[in-house]
Amino acid sequence: MILGVDIAKRSKHGRYYAVVLRNEAEGTVERFQSISRFKLIRMIRRLQPDLIATDNIYEFSSEKRKDDGSLAEFLRELPSNTKVIQVTGGIKQQPLSRLVKRLNLKFNRFNPLDEANACALLAGAGVGDEVLFRKDKTQIKVSRARSIGKGGWSQKRYGRKIHAAVKERTDEICEFLRNNGIDFNLSVKKGFGGYVNAIFLVDATRDKIRLSSGRSGDVQVKISPVEREHIEFREQSELQPARKHTIVGIDPGTTTAVAILDLNGNLIELSSSRTRTPAKLIELIARTGKTLIVASDVNPAPGSVEKIKRSFNAILHEPPESLAVETKIALTKSFEYRNDHERDALAAALDAYRSREPKFEQIMKKIPPGVDPDEVKALVIKGSTIDAAISSVARANSADGTEQKIIGEETVDEEVLKLKSDLKEAYGRAKLLKNYVKELEEKLNEKEREIELLRLKIETARSHERKEVLREKELKKRDSEIKRLKGIIWEYKKENKELRSKIEELRQVRKREMRGEGIPLKIIEAFNKNAIMRVEEEYGIRAGDILLFMDASGGGESTVRMLAEIGIRAAIYFGKMSHTASDAFIELGIPAFKAEELDVRVTDEVALVDTNLFESAISKWNEEHGLKIKEKQKKWFDELVDEYRIAREKENR
């Protein structure tokens, strides 16, 4: 696809352009009388033409700034695989009118559309110099996508996380470039926990690097071509050779592969992509050469292959029957390919070429000097005889002014006699060869029958093997699931057993309580105010309750007074209680017993004390406590009497 551009008119709002779009793949020409600079850039980015042709590249600069900087702004907007051609030359300039006359083109130099069309035709013929704005290098910059911030408790941890993410993305890009055989230089700025940023200088153009700029999480990647310091020109040959006729093999699908051969069987292009659209595929094929044959490896050919064949008005090649995998491998064994899709596309193209190779060999034997073999082959493939094709190409060369070598009559006569002699010998050899070929064909048919039988046996065996593999896979999957479920069942059984045991213990506790053999206790984990308040909030502690402390350490007199305010009946405890707490219990008249002195049974959150033992302990404690109270009262009374006596003696004095 070639875009011819010429300046159309100027206005106070900027420049306008006349544009001619020549699409060689579709054979169409579109003309645009006047479009703005902005719309021109948008059209180029949408269509992505192979060439943009003009007679003066500075016509692309803005109206206000006619310099390299303004032109660079325009060139930066172009797709990386689009070339800009100045048809009048950049190194050795020539007038457009002279170039047009040389190619016998007619145009009105006062009509911008005619000039744009002439530029497109000249660029398509290889006239002009390419504008070099970018180097064949690309810069990839990996950096933080956000600022770490002004500071705070988590700043270092957050910075380490971001720097680690930058390093991880840098390593991924390194691996990608190495796997694709792309050379690069890398410079990094290290940070705490990773990289602050990393800059790749890659030895490849932007379109060769299948990575995209963008932001992901804490990391951003920016990919940009490396620009030259100033705009340069690359000198090209004035008229490039005509594009070759090609044979195109296509393997359509989610991943589309294409293989392109010339008419000598040389591989020109082999690639595959998951993201290539049909339009991009057609553009690639058109750019590579003149498509003569579009080939498929299956019969019938898919609809997408038919569509591409119609786009180029080419000949469709289908094998007699779909190519087997073994055949494809044999056809492509001398070539390198990356995946099965490329192999299938290449096999289709090679099958199309080899089916016509004997005819091509005949052409090469007959073709005289000065006649293009590719053109003759193309005509023969389209249906002409070899002699008619040679005559047609020779006449075309004469009409184009191509010099033909003239052979003298005597030389011709000698050549004729020699050819007749050679022909006679050839007929004799051909007869022998025909008989030999007949024998070989019979053997070949026999071998093909054997191969077909073996192929059927192999297919049957493979089918059986596939079924066995699937069966084994399903059995393994089922066994794994059974094992997993057995594990779950075992866990449930274990849990059920434990729960049953606990239920039985609780049932026994409840029986003892109902028979009056046990008194329920409220369990408190520790002897402190927090533990007491937690149980009081969750279960409630009422006057007359008996409390069981699992750990008696930690509490003091204030804890005992808290219990006295509630009005508990008694306290039972495990462990060692402080003297302060023990004295406080006695002073406040609350019985407190060690759990070891009573028959206390604890089950999860339920505890029970033997009724007889507890009541006996209470009676004993009350007796001891009563004696202590009497002793205390007697001591208090004696002290009161002594104080009274002393006071009377003082009065009598």
My answer on whether 507 and 523 are in the same domain is no
Has residue 345 got a pLDDT over 90? yes
Of 161-170, 401-410, 551-560, minimum mean pLDDT range: 401-410
Has residue 432 got a pLDDT over 50? yes
For the chain, the C-alpha Rg in angstroms (whole number) is: 50
CA dist., res. 590 & res. 526, Å (int):
18
Q: Render pLDDT for 16-41 as a digit per residue (tens, 0 to 9).
A: 899 999 887 677 889 998 998 889 99
My answer on whether 497 and 542 are in the same domain is no
CA dist., res. 165 & res. 167, Å (int):
5
End position of a domain, from candidates 341, 366, 391? 366
Residue 651 covered by a domain:
no
Q: Render pLDDT for 42-87 as a digit per residue (tens, 0 to 9).
A: 999 999 999 999 999 888 887 555 555 578 888 888 888 889 999 8
CA dist., res. 304 & res. 254, Å (int):
12
Has residue 625 got a pLDDT over 80? no
Question: Span 506-534, mean pLDDT?
Answer: 78
Of 91-95, 143-147, 401-405, 516-520, minimum mean pLDDT range: 401-405
Looking at residue 412, its pLDDT comes to 41
Question: Span 468-483, mean pLDDT?
Answer: 89
Has residue 237 got a pLDDT over 60? no
Of 143-152, 252-261, 596-605, minimum mean pLDDT range: 143-152
When pLDDT is cut at 50, 70 and 90, the band that residue 272 belongs to is very high
My answer on whether 594 and 619 are in the same domain is yes
Q: Beta-strand (E) ranges in 252-383?
A: 256-262, 267-273, 290-295, 315-317
CA distances to 269, 348, 444 from 448, in Å = 33, 21, 6
Looking at residue 146, its pLDDT comes to 80
Question: Span 324-331, mean pLDDT?
Answer: 92
Give the tokens for residue 595.
């759990």
Residue 374 covered by a domain:
no
My answer on whether 114 and 154 are in the same domain is no
Please give the order of strands across the beta sheet that includes 546-549.
592-594, 570-573, 546-549, 518-524, 606-610, 600-603
Looking at residue 626, its pLDDT comes to 67
What domain range is 174 assigned to?
136-234
Question: Span 387-393, mean pLDDT?
Answer: 86
When pLDDT is cut at 50, 70 and 90, the band that residue 410 belongs to is very low
Side-chain half-sphere exposure of 463, counting CA atoms within 13 A:
6
CA dist., res. 90 & res. 560, Å (int):
105
My answer on whether 44 and 97 are in the same domain is yes
Q: DSSP assignment of 78-105, as one string?
A: S-TT-EEEETT-SSS---HHHHHHHTT-
Of 290-299, 376-385, 406-415, 512-521, minimum mean pLDDT range: 406-415
When pLDDT is cut at 50, 70 and 90, the band that residue 464 belongs to is confident
Looking at residue 400, its pLDDT comes to 45
CA dist., res. 526 & res. 573, Å (int):
9
Contact 537, 514 (CB under 8 A): no
How far apart, in Å, do the first and last CA atoms of the chain sit? 140
Question: Span 441-459, mean pLDDT?
Answer: 86
My answer on whether 267 and 211 are in the same domain is no
When pLDDT is cut at 50, 70 and 90, the band that residue 135 belongs to is confident
My answer on whether 140 and 229 are in the same domain is yes
Question: Span 449-460, mean pLDDT?
Answer: 87
Looking at residue 404, its pLDDT comes to 36
Has residue 633 got a pLDDT over 70? no
Does 129 or 61 have the greater pLDDT score?
A: 129
Residue 543 covered by a domain:
yes
Residue 574 covered by a domain:
yes
Q: Report the chain's mean pLDDT, rounded to a whole number.
A: 83
Contact 137, 204 (CB under 8 A): yes
- Beta-carbon contacts of 28 under 8 Å, excluding residues fewer than 6 positions away, are 21, 22
My answer on whether 122 and 16 are in the same domain is yes
CA nearest to 551, candidates 572, 526, 571? 526
Contact 6, 118 (CB under 8 A): no
Q: What is the pTM of this model?
A: 0.38
Residue 17 covered by a domain:
yes
Give the total number of structural domains in the chain.
Answer: 6
Looking at residue 413, its pLDDT comes to 45
Residue 456 covered by a domain:
yes
Looking at residue 252, its pLDDT comes to 93
My answer on whether 529 and 500 are in the same domain is no
Residue 390 covered by a domain:
no
Residue 641 covered by a domain:
no
End position of a domain, from candidates 99, 127, 155? 127
- Beta-carbon contacts of 39 under 8 Å, excluding residues fewer than 6 positions away, are none
Of 133-142, 211-220, 362-371, 436-445, minimum mean pLDDT range: 436-445
My answer on whether 168 and 251 are in the same domain is no
When pLDDT is cut at 50, 70 and 90, the band that residue 257 belongs to is very high
Question: Span 2-24, mean pLDDT?
Answer: 84
Contact 51, 3 (CB under 8 A): yes
Side-chain half-sphere exposure of 225, counting CA atoms within 13 A:
21
My answer on whether 8 and 67 are in the same domain is yes
CA dist., res. 51 & res. 25, Å (int):
14
Of 36-40, 162-166, 320-324, 519-523, minimum mean pLDDT range: 519-523
End position of a domain, from candidates 346, 366, 386? 366
Has residue 506 got a pLDDT over 50? yes
CA distances to 414, 532, 603 from 607, in Å = 129, 16, 6
Give the tokens for residue 17.
């352009």
My answer on whether 500 and 569 are in the same domain is no
Has residue 3 got a pLDDT over 90? yes
CA distances to 36, 430, 543, 598 from 12, in Å = 12, 81, 99, 108
Of 296-305, 419-428, 431-440, 475-484, minimum mean pLDDT range: 419-428
